[in-house]
Amino acid sequence: MQGYNCIIIYNAKADKALFCKRLSDPYEGKYNLVGGKINPGEDGFTAACRELLEETGIGEKDVELTHMMDFKYYNQNCYVEVYVGKLAADVNLIQEKHPLCWLDLDEDFFDQERFAGEGNIGHMFEQVKQFGPGSAPKGEPYTILCYGDSNTYGYNPMTQKRHGINNRWPMVLQKLLGDEYRVIEEGCNGRTAYNIVEDNPWKTGDYGMKAILNSHKPVDLLIFMLGSNDLKTLYDSSPRDIADAMAGMLKEAAQFMLDQQEFVPEFLLISPPLIDERIGETFFGDEFDSTSAERSRQMADVLKQVAENFQFEGRGCHFLNAAEHVMPSSYDCLHLEQDQHLKLAKAICDLIQSGLK
C-alpha cells in the first residue's frame, strides 16, 4: 500500500495556512496542501520533513511537526498521513514546482471548486480546530557512549571476571535515566590513555576509537574515563602526560564526530578512581606501586584543567572526579566493587539530569 503525506503549516501568528496552487493534475488549478510520497523503507515522519523541505524550504529547525491523523483508501490501495506544524518565525519560502501562498483561516476549505481533496482539506482543518494538532513523534533516544578501561568494562576485583550486566555503572546509568536515553558500554581491560601496550597495541586509547565512535553515531554525549593504566610502573607517566593525552583525544574525537555526524557531542571527562597505596601487596603489585597511587591522587586537578580549557566549535567539556564518589576495592586496590558502580552511576546521572543534556 503506497503511503503519502499532507502537511498543514500555520504561519508564526497562526492566522494563515500554507498552500500550493496545482499546476498539473490531479487537481490542476486548485489549492492543495504540501506533501508527497513516502518512499519505500522511509518512516512517515522522516518523509514529511523531507517533503516539506523539498517543496517549501522549511526545515526541522523552523517547525515542529505533529502527527494528527491518517486516511486509508482500500479501493485505491494507498494511505495518507496528515501532519501539522506552526512556524517558530516567518521564513522565506522556496518553491519546488507549484506556487506557494498563504491563505486566511476563514477560507471555506470544503469548497471543492477551489480546494483539492473532495472536502478532505476542510475535514483536516476542522479536526485541528476541534481536537488539536496531534502528538509529536517519539524521537531517537539521547545516546551516551562510555569509553574507558576495566572500571568501565566492569572488572570484578573479587572474581577476576566481570560484574553482571545490571551491576556495571553504564548499565545502572541506563536504568536510572530511562528509555529516553541509550547508554553504550565501551570499556576494555588494560586500555590506556596514550601509552602503547606493546603486546596488545589495540588497548591504546585512540586505537580503534574512531571505528567505535562511527559505529554508534549519532552520539550525543561521549564520556571518557581513562588514565589508571598509564600509571603502571612500566610507563612512568606523569599526571600531566596523561592529561595532555586526554586533551588530544578530546580534540580528535570532536573533529571526527563533526565530520561523521555533522555535530559535536557533549563531553564528560571523568578523573578515574584512586589507586590505593597498598596496591603493591596485591595481585597487581608487579604493575603498580605506591608512586602509582600517589600520582592517581594528582589526576583530578590536571584533568579538571583539561575539561575547563577544552573548546571546539563552541562546545566545552564537563568534568567529574570519580574519587569524590567511589573508592577502589580492598581486594586489589584498583577496581570497583558492585556497590561502587552503583554510586558512580548515580553521580553521573545527577550530573546529566542537572543540565548536561
The answer to whether the 2-131 and 142-356 domains have the same CATH topology is: no
- CATH number, span 142-356: 3.40.50.1110
Q: pLDDT tens digits for 106-139?
A: 999 999 999 998 999 999 999 999 998 887 666 6
Q: Is the pLDDT of residue 235 over 70?
A: yes
Q: Is the pLDDT of residue 351 over 70?
A: yes
Q: What does the H/E/C string look like for the chain?
A: CEEEEEEEEECCCCCEEEEEECCCCCCCCCEECEEEECCCCCCHHHHHHHHHHHHHCCCCCCECCEEEEEEEECCCCEEEEEEEEEECCCCCCCCCCCCEEEEECCCCCCCCCCECCCCHHHHHHHHHHHHCCCECCCCCCEEEEEEECHHHHCECCCCCCECCHHHCHHHHHHHHHCCCEEEEEEECCCCECCCCCCCCHHHECCCCHHHHHHHHCCCCEEEEECCCHHHCCCCCCCHHHHHHHHHHHHHHHHHHHHHHHCCCCEEEEEECCCCCHHHHHCCCCCCCCHHHHHHHCCHHHHHHHHHHHCCECCECCEEEEHHHCCCCCCCCCCCCCHHHHHHHHHHHHHHHHHHHC
Is residue 155 predicted with pLDDT exceeding 70? Answer: yes
In this prediction the pTM is: 0.65
pLDDT of 137 reads 64
Domain ranges of the chain: 2-131, 142-356
Q: 2-131 architecture in CATH? A: Alpha-Beta Complex (3.90)
**pLDDT exceeds 80 at position 65:** yes
